[in-house]
Amino acid sequence: MKEAQRKYKDTVFRMLFADPSRALSLYNAVNGTDYVNPFELQFNTLENVIYMNVKNDLSFLVANQVNLYEQQSTPSVNMPLRDLFYISDIFQKMFLKRTIYSNKMMKIPNPAFVVFYNGQMELPERMELKLSDHFELLTDAPSLELKVTVLNINPGMNEELKERCPSLKEYMIYVEKVRKYTDKMELAKAVEKAVEECIRENVLRDFLLNQKAEVVKMSIYEYDEEREMKLIREDERELGREEGREEGRKEGIRALIETCRDFGLSKEETISKIMQKFSISGEQLQKYWMS
């Protein structure tokens, strides 16, 4: 079984911000607030809810707002749909022991959905994904809506946000070091070098010292998966190009057959011209002739 098919593994991002103080700092950076007591934050990440081998990275409640935060190196246009599943499960869990059939209005915390993107595909600094974009019938006033804010945290993007959250800034320094060294050496050595260098430079120092072995293991898994997904996308693009070329050749052959017929050429003369123009065998031509 391929490694990517194993049970869900934590990511460095999720492990880093599972600390309440760091999660609160991230929340403050995103929302422009200044909460200082980490006990005001309550995690409600659903440990057993997994969608297509992926579960949401962070979910926590603070100031009557439930926040679903996700880190992605591969952008997903389906995040509004995934977050709809997540938030539905979270609300069900919150009100498990209460009835929704009461006449008393049940108040729910405001949901907020954020993706922190740090992949290598070029994306704008900030963008919004909407659930209504998935609807078969588009409308100006959808009855159901869910909006996901995508924040690009790559170098040169959302620098003010990263300055407000030192852990996010240092996380991206670590990510960039791993990427830089993977271009020069084997993945495991690149991760080890990045970790050691960050410790020396006081980048996520305490976090890396305390959980070095797990961080190295998770990073190897993450970047191996990221590299594999990149290769899959390249293969898909190449397949698309090949299919396009094949379809173009089919159209060209069909057009030439029609032209030859219009000029009254025999089947043998037509076949000869096609084989000469398109450099194909008689057996290959038969496939196009019959299609």
Q: Are residues 148 and 21 in the same domain?
A: yes
Residue 69 is assigned to a structural domain of this protein: yes
Q: Are residues 160 and 255 in the same domain?
A: no
Residue 78 is assigned to a structural domain of this protein: yes
Model confidence, pTM: 0.74
Q: Are residues 148 and 46 in the same domain?
A: yes
Count of domains forming the chain: 2
Q: Are residues 125 and 28 in the same domain?
A: yes
CA distance 1 to 41: 39
Ranges 43-57, 99-113, 195-209, most confident: 195-209
Q: Are residues 7 and 114 in the same domain?
A: yes
Q: Are residues 268 and 160 in the same domain?
A: no
Residue 73 is assigned to a structural domain of this protein: yes
Q: Which domain holds residue 254?
A: 249-290
Residue 278 is assigned to a structural domain of this protein: yes
- Given a cut of 90, whether residue 104 has pLDDT beyond it is no
Q: Are residues 147 and 16 in the same domain?
A: yes
Q: Are residues 153 and 39 in the same domain?
A: yes
Q: Are residues 32 and 126 in the same domain?
A: yes
pLDDT at 97: 75
Residue 181 is assigned to a structural domain of this protein: no
Long-range Cβ contact pairs of 244-250 (< 8 A, separation 24 or more): 249/278, 249/288, 250/288, 250/291
Of 22-36, 38-52, 213-227, give the lowest mean pLDDT range. 38-52
Mapped onto helix, strand or coil, the DSSP state of residue 11 is coil
Indicate the length of the chain as a whole number.
Answer: 291
Q: Are residues 159 and 257 in the same domain?
A: no
Tokens (6 digits) for 289: 């002739």
Q: Are residues 254 and 160 in the same domain?
A: no
Match 């949401």 to its residue by tokens: 56
Average pLDDT, the chain: 82
Q: Are residues 121 and 253 in the same domain?
A: no
CA distance 35 to 27: 9
Residue 189 is assigned to a structural domain of this protein: no
Residue 255 is assigned to a structural domain of this protein: yes
CA distance 158 to 72: 15
Residue 259 is assigned to a structural domain of this protein: yes
pLDDT band at 140 (very low <50, low <70, confident <90, very high): confident
pLDDT above 70: percentage of residues in the chain: 76
Label residue 204 left, alpha or beta by phi (over 0 means left) and psi (-120 to 50 means alpha): left
